[in-house]
């Protein structure tokens, strides 16, 4: 475990998938991890238990990050209880594949609300809390879809392209205050979404990946933990692609 003094990390959408792996990886590095969730309390409690079994501490917090009032309350209560927030991992989001000719307003609204507004709301509140200490780190979970065209993901890829742009702009704005902002862009990762694909579709996707395998959530979590660490203190405004060579 890294020798760090009780740093507080908030991971949104941390009850499953990549968010879960990020929360566990940060816990292993000694962070006190706030496991944010929106609906699955049981899964969030499980993540908390795993972090604690690994020798660190954690708490859970229910909030819909696409609702500004809930985001403000979450950050207010966390900083009141723990005094600060050192790291924010913006992960909560939605993937809803629909071809452009069949796209519904509901799909567009949900993707924009969670994948863009949610990141904006949380980043703003985190930066306000980090400002007084002149130090902090925000890590956005983007996607290789922001750099690679995938049929059916025009709205999703648009939101993740926006995440990349906001990452760079926020990094430039917040650097004078000691706050770093970076993003990771995972490719095909072995989460529930990939597991549910038909076997023939999995084989089709694997053929396009130079490393010939899907990534693991833990591999993404380790990169996020690295970006949050002091070893990455001179890295800001970057989007690190984790895709096994898919986008080459």
Tens-digit pLDDT profile for residues 76-129: 999 999 999 999 999 998 877 777 878 888 888 999 999 999 999 999 999 999
- Does position 153 have pLDDT exceeding 90, yes or no? no
What is the structure's pLDDT at 174?
Answer: 98
Report CA-CA distances (Å) from 26 to 61, 131, 225. 17, 22, 6
- Does position 238 have pLDDT exceeding 70, yes or no? yes
What is the structure's pLDDT at 101?
Answer: 78
For residue 181, the tally of other CB atoms under 10 A from its CB is 28
DSSP letter assigned to residue 103? -
Assessment of whether the complete model's pTM goes beyond 0.75 = yes
Structural tokens at position 37 = 């969730």
How far is 13 from 92, CA to CA, in rounded Å?
A: 4
Averaged over 151-169, what is the pLDDT? 91
What is the structure's pLDDT at 99?
Answer: 79
How far is 181 from 172, CA to CA, in rounded Å?
A: 9
CB 190, CB 216: distance < 8 Å = yes
CB 11, CB 35: distance < 8 Å = yes
**Helix/strand/coil percent split, the chain, to 5:** 50, 15, 35
CB 57, CB 34: distance < 8 Å = no
Report CA-CA distances (Å) from 145 to 104, 151, 158, 242. 20, 10, 9, 12
Residues taking part in catalysis: 156
How far is 65 from 124, CA to CA, in rounded Å?
A: 12
Instruction: Domain ranges for the chain, please list them.
Output: 8-191+217-242
Strand, helix or coil for residue 120: helix
**C-alpha distance across the termini of the chain, in Å:** 35
Cβ-in-10-Å burial (0-12, 13-18, 19+) of 75 comes to buried
What is the structure's pLDDT at 152?
Answer: 64
Superfamily of domain 8-191+217-242: NAD(P)-binding Rossmann-like Domain (3.40.50.720)
pLDDT tens digits along 49-79: 999 999 999 999 999 999 999 999 999 999 9
Structural tokens at position 66 = 């696409």
Q: Using DSSP bridges, classify how beta strands 136-141 and 179-186 pair: parallel, antiparallel or unpaired.
A: parallel
Q: Which residue has the tokens 């430039």?
A: 172
How far is 212 from 216, CA to CA, in rounded Å?
A: 13
């Amino acid at each position: 475990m890294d020798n760090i003094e009780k740093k507080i990390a908030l991971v949104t959408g941390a009850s499953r998938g990549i968010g879960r792996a990020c929360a566990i990886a940060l816990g292993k590095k000694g962070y006190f991890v706030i496991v944010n969730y929106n609906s699955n309390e049981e899964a969030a409690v499980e993540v908390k238990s795993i972090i604690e079994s690994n020798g660190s501490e954690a708490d859970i917090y229910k909030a819909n990050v696409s609702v500004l009032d809930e985001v403000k309350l979450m950050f207010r209560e966390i900083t009141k209880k723990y005094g600060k927030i050192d790291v924010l991992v913006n992960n909560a989001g939605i993937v809803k594949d629909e071809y452009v000719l069949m796209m519904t307003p509901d799909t567009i609204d949900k993707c924009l609300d969670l994948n863009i507004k949610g990141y904006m709301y949380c980043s703003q509140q985190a930066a306000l809390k980090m400002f007084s200490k002149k130090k902090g780190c925000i890590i956005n979970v983007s996607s290789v879809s922001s750099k690679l065209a995938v049929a059916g993901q025009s709205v999703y890829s648009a939101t993740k392209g926006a995440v990349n742009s906001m990452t760079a702009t926020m990094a430039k704005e917040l650097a004078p205050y000691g706050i770093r902002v970076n993003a990771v862009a995972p490719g095909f990762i072995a989460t529930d979404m990939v597991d549910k694909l038909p076997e023939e579709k999995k084989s089709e996707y694997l053929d396009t990946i130079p490393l010939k395998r899907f990534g693991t959530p833990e591999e993404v979590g380790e990169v996020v933990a690295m970006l949050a660490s002091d070893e990455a203190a001179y890295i800001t405004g970057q989007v690190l692609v984790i895709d096994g060579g898919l986008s080459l």
